[in-house]
Amino acid sequence: MWQDFAEYILNEVGDEDVRIAEVAVGKFDMIAEVLSSRENITLIKTDISPADESVIKDDITNPDFRIYEGVDMIYSIRPPSELQPHLVNLAQKINCQLIIKPLTNEDLNTPGVKMKLKNFNRASFYILR
């Protein structure tokens, strides 16, 4: 499933030079490793409690918009439901695509914003363009 999720993102960006932000990274870095291996992708990882020096400290409930300048896509893997409206807000303010991969069978908490369910091979996630 995770390889399918990474593959979807790679298909979306193609060979274009892009900036992607993973928000609320936590300790799971499999997708970040795949994306970082591509020369055309600049990956920014943020979390309120960075696990290591590769992660920028940022509070998504009060984001530092300078971190996200020029970002083309944001994704978040299993973000807590209380953070999901803040992810939508950030994506809308910087005008970029948002992908949320919630916990299995978890409803999204994005009041007033309809995200599209996407099934790609064995991966399921929500997209806001």
Structure confidence at residue 44 (pLDDT): 97
State what percent of residues in the chain have pLDDT above 90.
84
Q: What is the pLDDT of residue 104?
A: 74
- Summarize the confidence of residues 30-47 as an average pLDDT: 95
pTM of the model: 0.94
Which residues 6+ apart lie within 8 Å of 54 measured at CB? Answer: 45
- With beta carbons less than 8 A apart as the criterion, state whether 56 and 24 touch: no
Average pLDDT of the segment spanning 113-125: 93
The span from the CA of 124 to the CA of 98, in Å, is: 14
121 dihedral zone (left: phi>0; alpha: psi -120 to 50; beta):
left
> What's the average model confidence in pLDDT over 19-36?
93
Overall number of domains in the chain: 1
CATH for 86: 3.40.50.150
User: Which candidate, 73, 86, 63, places its Cα nearest to that of 129?
Assistant: 73
Residue 74 vs residues 11, 36, 112: alpha-carbon distances, Å: 15, 14, 19
Residue numbers of the domain that contains 76:
2-128
What does the pLDDT read at residue 107? 80
* Side-chain half-sphere CA neighbours of 82 within 13 A: 2
pLDDT tens, position by position, 56-114: 999 999 999 999 999 999 999 999 999 999 999 999 999 999 999 998 777 888 988 99
- How many other C-beta atoms can be found within 10 angstroms of the C-beta atom of residue 105? 6
Mean pLDDT of 19-46: 94
